[in-house]
Chain A
């Protein structure tokens, strides 16, 4: 991936994140609020469980019949006047977008936040092509100003506090806010962004859904920036992953009900728009051309390689909001486009397992992510699947392998296991005063931060054999 940080240093990035008290405050404010609001929304939803079962079934059906629905979508989009492009890789996708911008003689594009755009490295590709980019989503605007990458799929700037954003706006905006209020800061961004949006030659967005039976593209935002980015320019480009397809508007609406609630706890986003083709004769405004770039970038391979369930994902972010690891280290530490549990499944597929094996391992397998997933993706199972692949391919650290091998050898030989553990218990007990061990060689990972209860003088099995009953 073009704009990615080096992958080898997950632990280094995680350590830096753990030492950043501002990051912790920022993550807790946003994820904590989202967690509480989601809980209220789900509680109030009549039979959420049935709704998520149906949502999973819709996505599974589409993923199993992807070719059929994509062809139907293409036919209907073309009939509505759009042009459909197919991209196998991120490079092909970027080349198509840049080619369209150049053809149109575009000097600037207005971009509405899209994680697929991040995934394929579109911001970087536009910069390389010398095309100015106006990020119109407020959080993406913050990210663009600070020269960072998104740290969350819903709130790209969630790692920043409002205090930090205020300072950034003061430095970067021509006519910044005078008052230290959120409303004044939003006004400052609005003044700054409006001009860029309205004067852009091209509008680029992603898609939350592609509706097969109408050829419509659906975007959801809370700021209306997708509409303002896509409607005024002469040329509209939509880049979307092929798994975004749904059979009909009804299916899209069912998933929308779960998407907004799972993401922010709201019943619906402020703006939900379906775009079908470019401006028609009877329309008062709209783009003259609409191009839709359908991107595979490993999705077909994921379907064939045991990750089909991951293609259910509707990018709500609930898994990361509820993840104990994400809540401690934030999104940047993951090092990929997508953070949190869903990112730990996707990133090895996109960037390769050799560089990313830490991600599926840095998880307690507590299952909360699957519990809150609106399409019931078995994230722990998929993460375990990556661990198995990493083990098979010899990517796990030698010490881990040696430890498991040694333990497994004894665990299959009960008599030797009893003898070896009896010896180990003795030496461990010799290390401690009272009931606790404060420092244990080879177990520094534990005792650096916590005390270890001193093990028993004799194992349960030994005591039981001698006739102890309680």
Chain B
């Protein structure tokens, strides 16, 4: 790894459209961690909606498109476990039959990282002089946890935020019921799952809910708000960038 790696920030479609703050927080932390960050202009989506809906052809097209777009950088960093896993785990799987693209898919996979894993494990970075006097509870989003092994990284990083204390969340590794298109294809089942998750979050009695995937956060925060909970939700990287004192999800007017 070069001293100042030239990395591509792939912000993901949800962050781009719903909460750009997470993208700017990613940018700030990566630069603080000594990276030369480029935001490739032509990025849109990783292709996960097609992949998980069974539209394999479109998923493959999106994979080839993103490989061509992103393979020229030292690393690709993504502020989402499930989008990073799509690139890291699933691109090589779905292009396995394609002799021309498979080596390129594998090469991209090898240098694609979820942002918290990248900051912690690759850059050995810690937030410096970031304070947030609050209590928070942490939900481990499933793709990051099970496909990328992200568990300790966010906790190590958050441990360096002054004044922030983590409270345990019962069932922290239990799916929140988002599941991408699942939550709109089977809304009643999804609602039952996120209803239990919201109750567990409330029972944790923390000021903040933190996680690493905006999809899951929108689902949990949306349910918490509907139920009248006072818990406020942020992406972990926002807190790490010192932006945890700003508007939480749903507080942007």
Hey, which bits of chain A sit against chain B, CB under 8 A? 11, 14-15, 18, 324-325, 328-329, 361-368, 370-371, 381, 384, 386-392, 396, 400-401, 404-405, 407-408, 410-412, 414, 417, 421, 424-425, 434-436, 443-446, 448-456, 458-461, 463-465, 468-470
Distance, CA A324 to CA B225, complexed state (A): 22
Q: Is B52's CB under 8 angstroms from A451's CB? A: no
| Consensus secondary structure, chain B interface | helix
Residues of the B chain whose Cβ atoms lie less than 8 Å from the Cβ of A401 = 55
C-alpha gap A244/B69 in the complex (Å): 48
- Judging by beta carbons under 8 Å apart, are B43 and A414 in contact? yes
- Residue in A365, A387, A459 whose CB lies within 8 Å of B20: A459
Residues of B close to A460: CB separation below 8 A: 11, 15-17, 20, 23-24
Contacts of A454 in B (CB 8 A): 250, 252
CA A468 – CA B23 in complex, angstroms? 11
Cross-chain contact B16 with A367 (CB below 8 angstroms): no
Assembly CA distance A396 to B181 (angstroms) = 13
Across the interface, do B17 and A421 meet the contact criterion of CB distance under 8 Å? yes
Bound-complex Cα distance A425 to B13 (A): 12
Q: Which 8 A-B pairs have the closest CB atoms?
A: A364-B179, A387-B54, A450-B222, A391-B54, A445-B184, A460-B20, A366-B175, A366-B142
How far, in whole Å, are A366 and B11 apart by their CA atoms in the complex? Answer: 22
Q: Does B58 contact A (CB under 8 A)?
A: yes
Interface residues on B, range: 35 or more
Which chain B residues (124-174) contact chain A, with CB distance < 8 Å? 142-143, 145-147, 173-174
Q: Is the CB of A452 within 8 A of B222?
A: yes
CB 8 Å contact bits of B211-237 with A (1 = contact, 0 = none):
000000011011101100000000000
Given known contacts A14-B189, A453-B221, A470 and B28 CB-to-CB distance under 8 angstroms? yes
B219 surroundings in chain A (CB, below 8 A): 450
Expressed in whole angstroms, the minimum distance between the Cβ of B4 and any Cβ of chain A is 17
Residues on B with C-beta less than 8 A from A371 are 146
**Contact yes or no, A453 B184, CB < 8 A:** no
Of residues A329, A412, A468, which shows the largest number of chain B Cβ atoms within 10 Å of its Cβ? A412
A7 CA / B88 CA spacing, docked (Å):
36
A413 to B, closest residue via Cβ: B44
**What residues on B are CB-neighbors of A386 within 8 Å?**
54
Residues on the A chain within 8 Å of B247, using CB: 435
CA distance A14 to B219 in the complex (A): 21
How many Å from the CB of A405 to the closest CB on chain B? 8
Q: Does A448 contact B187, Cβ atoms closer than 8 Å?
A: yes
30 contacts between A and B (CB under 8 A): A14-B188, A324-B177, A325-B189, A328-B193, A364-B193, A367-B147, A368-B174, A370-B146, A371-B146, A388-B54, A392-B54, A392-B56, A407-B49, A412-B61, A412-B62, A414-B42, A425-B17, A435-B252, A435-B253, A446-B183, A450-B222, A451-B226, A452-B218, A453-B18, A453-B19, A454-B250, A456-B20, A460-B17, A463-B24, A470-B28
Given A11-B186, A18-B189, A446–B222 Cβ distance below 8 Å?
yes
Are A362 and B189 CB-contacts (below 8 A) given A324-B174, A436-B250, A453-B221?
A: yes
Whole-angstrom CA separation of A412 from B13 in the bound complex: 13
Chain B min CB distance to A292 (Å):
39
Is the pair A387, B24 in contact by a Cβ cutoff of 8 Å?
no
Q: Which residues of A contact B252 (CB under 8 A)?
A: 435, 453-454, 456
B191→A469 contact, CB < 8 A: no
Given contacts A454-B250, A460-B15, 20 further A-B contacts (CB under 8 A): A15-B188, A328-B189, A362-B186, A363-B182, A364-B179, A365-B179, A366-B179, A367-B142, A370-B146, A408-B50, A435-B250, A435-B253, A446-B183, A450-B219, A452-B222, A454-B252, A456-B252, A460-B17, A460-B23, A464-B39
